[in-house]
A and B are shown apart, each in its own frame.
Chain A
Amino acid sequence: MIRLVSDDMRPPSPARRHLLAMADVTRDDLERILGTARTFATSLEREVKKLPTLKGRLIVNLFYESSTRTSSSFELAAKRLSADTLTLKSAGSSVDKGESLKDTALTLGAYDPDVIVIRHPQVGAAHFVARVADAHVVNAGDGKHQHPTQALLDLYTIHQELGRLDGLHVAIVGDVVHSRVARSLVQAFALMDMRCTLIGPPALLPQGLAESTTDIGAIRHADVVYVLRMQHERMQAGANYVPSLREYTARWGITPERLRPGQKVMHPGPMNRGVEIDPRVADCSDALVETQVRSGLVVRMAVLYDLLVGGPVSVRALAAAEVA
């Protein structure tokens, strides 16, 4: 989690902690954040769900790509912690008028935000904002590179469901090459000594990322089957990653027949029912898709808390904060 952005090119502003890539996160960071998230989960069971912890802080959400889950969960996470939020989507803002990312970041920086959460279609966008803006930066997805809070919430979900992380085996199935989620997950699993197998058609498996196979039968050995979204726009005729979606579904679609009883199934959403995941699987009790969304809220609360307050949190500390 602690990434001191060292950049020879610019005079260093005071070092700030950012969450830009899973590779920057240590096992200690990860365990601390998951612990904080569990504490917040407890607090959310109470009737009044709002905590005063980040009162007076400003969280800016800057979304250059459409997003339902991630943007809503960051916004709600900030609100549950009593922070002010400002959400900017590229449509309807100066971004539409061709404003550069640098100028947008500097403009928002003029409001002295504590955290900038950014999603952007280009690799390196979050790193870039971390260089130019004087705020903690959280990468909510930069191109096909990283989506670290998704990996954190997935680890949280797996831990909640299976009670441990060490030694578990996860199969990631589908369009790995275009998936920032897969890239963050591979690093997160390695950090927690979990085994990871990538499964999919040859052109959708990047070389050298992790153990990989084209054989869908390999999901049988996994504790968790993590299904990636097939992105229609990438599968247009002529791209030839796969001959057709029909053939993809027949060969790599996740059906009840291909799963072992009790295997957990995850998906970062949005799902293409009937393409990468059979609707019977999507609706079964072993599918953790909604649990993932719920985890997203508490994990993002924990990330904001960790960046702004730091250190482990206890229910007692939270109660004290409430009194204050």
Chain B
Amino acid sequence: MLWMKDAPGANVVVRGARVVDPVEGIDAALDVRIDDGAIAAVAERVDANGHRVVDGTGLVLAPAFVDPHVHLRTPGREDEETIATGTAAAAAGGYCAILAMPNTDPVVDSAAALQSLVEGARRDALVPTGFMAAITRGQAGEELTEMGELADAGAAAFSDDGVPVRAAGLLQRALQYSSITGRLLALHEEEPTLTKGAHMHMGRVSAELGLAGYPSVGESVMVERDLSLAAAEGQPLHLMHLSAAESVAALRRARHAGVRASGEVTPHHLVLTDDAVRSLDPNVKMNPPLREEDDRIALLDALRDGTIECVATDHAPHARHEKDVPFEAAPNGVTGLETAFAALYTYLVKPGALPLATLLERMSAGPARVFGFERPRVAAGARANVVLLDLERDWQVADFRSKSRNSWLLGHTLTGAVVMTIANGAVVHE
């Protein structure tokens, strides 16, 4: 389900780093030896075996990150991102696996389109990359894609991201049919008749700014509908980029009732509120929009208690000239791969709002579990998928490996830097 270009397995020893793997129950200063891309030893003192030695003193070594929601813009908008640049951004952000969304031009709704992406990933991807395929042909919300063939061709999951599946009857059929593939449906939840012409969250700030708003209920009404359908069909589903407190409450209720539903949240929804839109900076414009402080707190609580299992960046690159316009004219979306960890470390972990171990779990084991990937772990015998983090280092967000620079963090100084990423055994960033 994941592809990358050939890369030599690393032979490295990291000495004396604080090894944190929340699932393995490790938080201790240890040495880690990687032989030909596989973790060979995790112990207090390991022999270098002639390997390159990296001094990990003062650094954190953790399972590398998994991002289940990335827009690589390929095919169709290679001016905004390519498999090469998007995965370089992922490597720089500490990721060892990413999932690309199918809302490209053309849409990934056929095995042929998927196969050409797989070939592209084998040729260009710096980190293991998977691809979602569309739920409906052309994401038009009318006919199901050939999910069986798409799954055989390697589709990691199905999504019409960017648009909702409008018709309840169609989603019901998608839930039924996708069950033969063992792949999840990942849903963009939005009731379009409630969000027509919207540019930001509907609330006090949109009233002041005169921008048409996406009301919270425009998301939660679809979340409620789809959780009901999933319950009725006994099928799992995944709710992408949740933004409203009402949606979180619905997810929590459904999970308590035994529905196999998972959720993801983006760094920007965990850190910002619609108050940021007062700047009219196009780099705080996205869909779903930034909502209010109560929503942000609800998302953070849900991430903490595990109701939301994944942090997802919704990395959405846009050409510079397309964002260099008045707020109302700008397209939705912000980049996030290169800043996700540092943003959440700086604005949540450092001030004490989120434990480091929880963040590491939600950025790695959580999404791997939800999408059925092998969990990145720091344990002897595992393929090396690890990230080395410097939690003391401050850096200014200015340059990007991504082809685009529409980051809401542009110009911010963040704490917490990715020193080295090892993905599928290879050193892909340092």
A interface list, Cβ under 8 A from B: 7-9, 23, 100-102, 120, 122-125, 127-128, 142-146, 178-180, 183, 206-209
Q: Is the CB of B325 within 8 A of A145?
A: no
A-side contacts of B112, CB under 8 Å: none
Q: Is the CB of B326 within 8 A of A142?
A: yes
Chain B, residues 395-430, CB within 8 Å of chain A (1/0): the string is 000000000000000111000000000000000000
Some 9 contacts from A to B, beta carbons below 8 A apart, are: A8-B411, A123-B211, A123-B280, A123-B326, A124-B328, A145-B210, A146-B210, A207-B204, A207-B207
Chain B, residues 348-367, CB within 8 Å of chain A (1/0): the string is 00000000000000000000
> How far does the Cβ of A244 sit from chain B's closest Cβ, in whole Å?
21
Q: Is the CB of B327 within 8 A of A123?
A: yes
Instruction: Sort A-B residue pairs by CB-CB distance and give the 5 closest, nearest first.
Output: A8-B411, A144-B210, A124-B327, A206-B207, A122-B328
Instruction: Among B206, B210, B280, find the residue whose CB has the most chain A CB atoms closer than 10 A.
Output: B210
A146 and B203 alpha carbons, distance in the complex (Å): 17
A145 and B326 alpha carbons, distance in the complex (Å): 12
Instruction: Tally B residues with Cβ within 8 Å of A.
Output: 23
> How far does the Cβ of B344 sit from chain A's closest Cβ, in whole Å?
20
> How far does the Cβ of A151 sit from chain B's closest Cβ, in whole Å?
13
Q: Is the CB of A124 within 8 A of B326?
A: yes
A39 and B411 alpha carbons, distance in the complex (Å): 45
A-side contacts of B209, CB under 8 Å: 123, 145, 183
Instruction: Among A8, A123, A144, A207, find the residue whose CB has the most chain B CB atoms closer than 10 A.
Output: A123
A-side contacts of B374, CB under 8 Å: none
With both beta carbons as reference points, the residue of chain A lying nearest to B330 in the complex is identified as A124
Q: Is the CB of B325 within 8 A of A143?
A: no
B321 within 8 Å of A by Cβ? yes
Q: Is the CB of A120 within 8 A of B207?
A: no
B-side contacts of A123, CB under 8 Å: 199, 209-211, 280, 326-328
**Also in contact, A124 and B324, with CB within 8 A (given A144-B210, A145-B211):** no
**Also in contact, A9 and B328, with CB within 8 A (given A123-B211, A145-B210, A208-B204):** no
B-side contacts of A183, CB under 8 Å: 208-210
A320 and B38 alpha carbons, distance in the complex (Å): 85
Contact of A102 among B211, B325, B410 (CB under 8 A): B325
B329 within 8 Å of A by Cβ? yes
A-side contacts of B327, CB under 8 Å: 122-124, 127-128
Describe A's contact surface by its main secondary structure.
loop
Q: Is the CB of A125 within 8 A of B326?
A: yes
A228 and B73 alpha carbons, distance in the complex (Å): 44
> How far does the Cβ of B324 sit from chain A's closest Cβ, in whole Å?
6
A-side contacts of B411, CB under 8 Å: 8-9
Contact of B210 among A7, A9, A143, A208 (CB under 8 A): A143
With both beta carbons as reference points, the residue of chain A lying nearest to B278 in the complex is identified as A23
With both beta carbons as reference points, the residue of chain A lying nearest to B206 in the complex is identified as A206
Within B194-247, which residues are at the interface with A (CB < 8 Å)?
199, 203-204, 206-211
With both beta carbons as reference points, the residue of chain A lying nearest to B211 in the complex is identified as A123
Within B68-99, which residues are at the interface with A (CB < 8 Å)?
none
Instruction: Among B207, B283, B410, B411, find the residue whose CB has the most chain A CB atoms closer than 10 A.
Output: B207
Contact of B280 among A120, A127, A180, A208 (CB under 8 A): A127
**Also in contact, A144 and B211, with CB within 8 A (given A123-B280, A207-B204):** yes
A-side contacts of B326, CB under 8 Å: 101, 120, 122-125, 127-128, 142
> How far does the Cβ of A209 sit from chain B's closest Cβ, in whole Å?
5
Using A127-B326, A183-B210 as known contacts, list a sample of 5 further A-B pairs with CB atoms less than 8 Å apart, ordered by residue number in A: A9-B410, A122-B327, A128-B280, A128-B325, A183-B208
B-side contacts of A7, CB under 8 Å: 281
B-side contacts of A146, CB under 8 Å: 210
Q: Is the CB of B324 within 8 A of A102?
A: yes
With both beta carbons as reference points, the residue of chain A lying nearest to B202 in the complex is identified as A207
> How far does the Cβ of B301 sit from chain A's closest Cβ, in whole Å?
25
With both beta carbons as reference points, the residue of chain B lying nearest to A147 in the complex is identified as B210
Instruction: Among A102, A124, A206, find the residue whose CB has the most chain B CB atoms closer than 10 A.
Output: A124
> How far does the Cβ of A106 sit from chain B's closest Cβ, in whole Å?
11
With both beta carbons as reference points, the residue of chain B lying nearest to A7 in the complex is identified as B281
> How far does the Cβ of B276 sit from chain A's closest Cβ, in whole Å?
13
A102 and B319 alpha carbons, distance in the complex (Å): 15
Within B271-306, which residues are at the interface with A (CB < 8 Å)?
280-283
Instruction: Among B199, B321, B327, find the residue whose CB has the most chain A CB atoms closer than 10 A.
Output: B327
B-side contacts of A179, CB under 8 Å: 210
Q: Is the CB of A180 within 8 A of B210?
A: yes
B-side contacts of A209, CB under 8 Å: 204, 207-208
A85 and B94 alpha carbons, distance in the complex (Å): 55
A122 and B282 alpha carbons, distance in the complex (Å): 12
B-side contacts of A100, CB under 8 Å: 321, 324-325
Instruction: Among B206, B281, B326, B410, find the residue whose CB has the most chain A CB atoms closer than 10 A.
Output: B326
With both beta carbons as reference points, the residue of chain B lying nearest to A176 in the complex is identified as B207
> How far does the Cβ of A8 sit from chain B's closest Cβ, in whole Å?
3
With both beta carbons as reference points, the residue of chain A lying nearest to B321 in the complex is identified as A100
Chain B, residues 166-196, CB within 8 Å of chain A (1/0): the string is 0000000000000000000000000000000
With both beta carbons as reference points, the residue of chain B lying nearest to A144 in the complex is identified as B210
A180 and B328 alpha carbons, distance in the complex (Å): 14
Within B307-342, which residues are at the interface with A (CB < 8 Å)?
321, 324-329
A304 and B351 alpha carbons, distance in the complex (Å): 46
> How far does the Cβ of B271 sit from chain A's closest Cβ, in whole Å?
16
A179 and B183 alpha carbons, distance in the complex (Å): 48
A125 and B295 alpha carbons, distance in the complex (Å): 29
A-side contacts of B410, CB under 8 Å: 8-9
A-side contacts of B283, CB under 8 Å: 9
B-side contacts of A9, CB under 8 Å: 281, 283, 410-411
A7 and B282 alpha carbons, distance in the complex (Å): 12
Instruction: Among B204, B321, B324, B328, find the residue whose CB has the most chain A CB atoms closer than 10 A.
Output: B328
A-side contacts of B207, CB under 8 Å: 206-209
A60 and B366 alpha carbons, distance in the complex (Å): 56
